[in-house]
């Protein structure tokens, strides 16, 4: 039986293929990224990998995989900082989850403004992942 946000889920045998959402979060013990399925249990954020190994992660660092790969083949996750490769004004962007989908924004706080948040799929061929907001905040500064 699988869990999502602490709720039990049952897989139907009639489903031949189902895409599972992929998440990542920073392991509270090792400080390294853990990748896999995400759920919450007893107040803890937990990532379970494909081998069914589980670890508690820092809940603020949990982000979903967008389903998009950057120009170098890296998976793009919520919280990643992207470098625009094909734009005249080079300001790094942040991947955020807003209004039921992944978007890019100039800042995490600014993503609440309608004019600062754009769907990520528009830009999927013109960005590279250069870091994330948890480990590389210095990349959020404007390029000159």
| Structure confidence at residue 91 as a pLDDT band (50, 70, 90) | confident
Residue 57 above 80 pLDDT?
yes
Per-residue pLDDT tens for 107-135? 665 455 556 777 876 655 588 999 999 99
Residue 101 above 60 pLDDT?
yes
DSSP states of 24-73: EEEBTTT-SEEEEEEEEETTEEEEE-TT--EEEE-GGG-EEEEEEE-TTS
Rounded CA separation 61/135 (Å): 10
Rounded CA separation 120/85 (Å): 14
**Length of the chain, please?**
144
Dihedral angle over CA of 75, 9, 59, 20, nearest 10: 0
Looking at residue 120, its pLDDT comes to 78
Averaged pLDDT for residues 75-102: 84
């Amino acid at each position: 039986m699988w869990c999502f946000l602490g709720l039990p889920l049952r897989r139907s045998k009639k489903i031949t293929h189902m895409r599972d959402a992929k998440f990542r979060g920073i392991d509270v013990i090792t400080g390294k990224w853990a990748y896999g399925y995400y759920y919450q249990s007893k107040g803890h954020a937990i990532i379970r990998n494909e081998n069914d190994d589980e670890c508690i992660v820092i809940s603020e660092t949990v982000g979903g995989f967008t389903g998009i790969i950057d120009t170098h083949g890296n998976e793009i996750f919520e919280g990643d900082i992207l470098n625009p490769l094909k734009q005249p004004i080079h300001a790094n962007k942040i991947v955020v989850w807003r209004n039921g989908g992944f978007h890019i924004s100039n800042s995490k706080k600014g993503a609440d403004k309608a004019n600062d948040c754009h769907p990520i799929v528009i830009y999927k061929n013109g960005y590279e992942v250069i870091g994330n907001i948890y480990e590389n905040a210095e990349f959020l500064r404007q390029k000159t």
